[in-house]
């Protein structure tokens, strides 16, 4: 199991487009993907779950990935956050 802290960098936060990008990326892997914010944990392969985080710019989340391809999945998802989901930072 891999746990990493990720921060929302893009100005609009984790709105529909980045949430969809996150789910699409997570769904490419066999590993289970979860995001935690405080004591709330959601399935990273569910766009509705991701949207319920209401994560604004500057919010820190814990990325939890577990499974056969967990390292690759964690790296790909972390890269999305680092890049601000391709949006203006």
Categorise residue 86: left if φ over 0, alpha if ψ from -120 to 50, beta otherwise: left
Choose among 16, 46, 48, 52: nearest CA to 32: 46
15 is catalytic: yes
| Phi and psi, residue 35, nearest 5° | -125, 135
Rounded CA gap, 40 and 50, in Å? Answer: 11
- Candidates 4, 9, 15, 36; catalytic one: 15
Which residues carry out catalysis? Answer: 15
């Amino acid at each position: 199991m891999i746990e990493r802290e990720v921060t929302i960098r893009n100005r609009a936060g984790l709105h529909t487009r980045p949430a969809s990008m996150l789910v699409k990326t997570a769904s490419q892997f066999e590993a289970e993907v979860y995001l935690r914010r405080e004591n709330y944990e959601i399935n990273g392969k569910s766009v509705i779950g991701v949207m319920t985080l209401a994560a604004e710019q500057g919010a820190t989340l814990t990325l939890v990935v577990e499974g056969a391809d967990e390292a690759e999945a964690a790296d790909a998802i972390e890269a999305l956050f680092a890049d601000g989901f391709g949006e203006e930072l």
